[in-house]
Amino acid sequence: MTISREDIEKVAVLARIRVDEEQVSALEKDLGNILDLVDQLSAADTDSVEPMAHPLNAVQRLRPDVVTETNQREAFQAIAPATENGLYLVPRVIE
């Protein structure tokens, strides 16, 4: 697959980057090589490959979902500067 100079210039404008003429030529070649590699990868037969979440097939150790602390809400709200109906009141930051 090839990419044209016009495509590179259009992307440069959208990305708001300045690209010199010599850079356009180099990018045209480099991006063409990248797109060729993507085409090669797309052509690979992956029907028998099982999808995986992690390349090392790692397992995340999880802790049991149990309450380990007592409810101290009333104590925390008692020392808060401002509360109302069980909620903390904070200064407005967005007008």
* Pairwise CA distance, residues 22 & 15, whole Å: 18
Residue showing tokens 């003429």? 21
Q: What is the Cα Rg of the chain in Å? A: 28
Is the sign of the CA dihedral 48, 50, 54, 57 positive or negative?
negative
d(CA 17, CA 78): 54
Report whether 35 contacts 4 (CB < 8 A).
Answer: no
CB 8 within 8 A of CB 27: yes
CATH of 5-42, one of 1.10.20, 3.40.50, 1.20.1440, 2.60.40: 1.10.20
- Residue 58, pLDDT > 80, answer no
pTM for the full predicted model: 0.49
Q: What is the pLDDT of residue 61?
A: 85
- Domain limits, the chain: 5-42
Model confidence pLDDT, tens digit, residues 3-24: 899 999 999 999 999 999 889 9
